[in-house]
Amino acid sequence: MSGDECIDIGYSSAKESPTQLDRLMRDARRPRFRAVMVARFDRFARSTSHRLRALAEFQIYKIDFISVSENIDTSTPIGKTVFTVIGAVAEPERSLIQERVLAGR
C-alpha cells in the first residue's frame, strides 16, 4: 500500500475509458489501498451514476473516498451524505457548461 497515484493527464472524465480510472477500479478490487483521494469530486468519474457505483464498490472493500476541494470524506456518515448530494448536482452542472460552451462557438 504505497503512495501510488492514478493520473489521467489529457483525459476527460466523460470519455469512455480513462486508463488510470480503470486501473484504480481494478486495484480497488484486489484491494491495494485504503483510500482514494481526488482534488475535485466532479473530475473523478464519467457520470453521477458511475461515481455512486464506484463509491458502493469502495464501501464493499472498505476504501474511503476523499475529495479535497469539496471536503468530502466518506469515512464519516456526513461525508457519505454529502457525496451523494454533490453527485446529483454535479452532473447537470456539467451538461450546462457543455451547452454554454457550444452556444458560445
Successive 10-residue mean pLDDT values, the chain, 105 residues: 64 59 90 89 76 84 90 89 77 78 83
pTM here is 0.66
Cα 101 to Cα 48: distance, rounded to the nearest angstrom: 21
Strand segments (E) across the chain:
35-38, 64-67, 72-73
Q: Give the pLDDT confidence score for residue 41 in this predicted structure.
A: 78
Instruction: List the CATH code of the domain at 19-104.
Output: 3.40.50.1390
Residue 12: the pLDDT is: 56
Distance from C-alpha of 72 to C-alpha of 55, rounded to nearest angstrom = 12
Report the pLDDT value the prediction gives residue 34, as an integer from 0 to 100: 93
Per-domain residue ranges for the chain?
Answer: 19-104
Q: What is the predicted pLDDT for the residue at 1?
A: 44
